[in-house]
Chain A
C-alpha cells in the first residue's frame, strides 16, 4: 500500500516541478538568512522557471518524461550511465581542485574531504552491491 503510494508519487508529473519549487524556497530562505535576499529571489525564479519548463515540455520530450513519469528499463539504464558520468566528472573536478589548492600552498580542504567521501562511498557501494549479489 505504502509502496504503491510511493510509486504513484514518484511517477507523478508534478514531482520534479514541486521539488524545484521547494528547493527554490529553501534557497530563498538560506539566502535571506545570509543577508542576500535578491540572490535568493533570483535562485527561486530560476528554479521555478526550470520546474515550469519540465512541466510543460514533459509531454513531448522523452528525456523530460524519463526524468519524471515514464522511466522504463531503458531509461533506468540511461539514468545509471548518466549518474556514473556525472560522478566521474565531479570526482575529476574535485581532484583537480584539490591538487591546485595544494600547489597554491593551501591545505587542499574542503576538496580533500570531498574526495575522501567520494572514495569511501565508492568502496562502500562496491562492497554493498557485491554482498547483495
Chain B
C-alpha cells in the first residue's frame, strides 16, 4: 500500500506515515489504534519492535 493512500485514510500527511515507518515519530494513541484497526492487528503487533 502506498504511504499516500494510508496517510489519506488516517487523516495525516504522507511524511507523518513515513516518519512512523522509519521510527522517527511515535504516533499518538488514537492514531496508533486507528493504524492497528486499519491493518486488522493489535497495537502491540503493529508497534512492538521485537
Contacts and interface: CB of A to CB of B under 8 A. Distances in A.
A and B associate: yes
Interface of A: 62, 65-66, 70, 72-75, 77
B40 to A, nearest CB: 22
Contacts of B11: 72
B12 interface: yes
Contacts of A77: 25
B15 A73 contact: no
A62 B31 CA distance: 20
A62 B12 contact: no
Q: Which of the four size classes fits the interface of chain B?
A: 10 to 19
B5 to A, nearest CB: 15
Interface of B: 11-13, 15-16, 19, 25, 27-28, 31
Main secondary structure of the interface of B (DSSP, over half): loop
B7 to A, nearest CB: 9
Contacts of A70: 13
Contacts of B19: 74
A83 B12 CA distance: 21
A8 to B, nearest CB: 15
Contacts of A74: 12-13, 15-16, 19, 25, 27
14 contacts: A66-B13, A70-B13, A72-B11, A72-B13, A73-B12, A73-B16, A73-B27, A73-B31, A74-B13, A74-B19, A74-B27, A75-B13, A75-B16, A77-B25
Nearest to A72: B12
Nearest to A75: B13
Q: Give me the 6 closest cross-chain CB pairs, A-B, nearest first.
A: A72-B12, A74-B16, A62-B15, A72-B13, A74-B25, A73-B28
A64 to B, nearest CB: 12
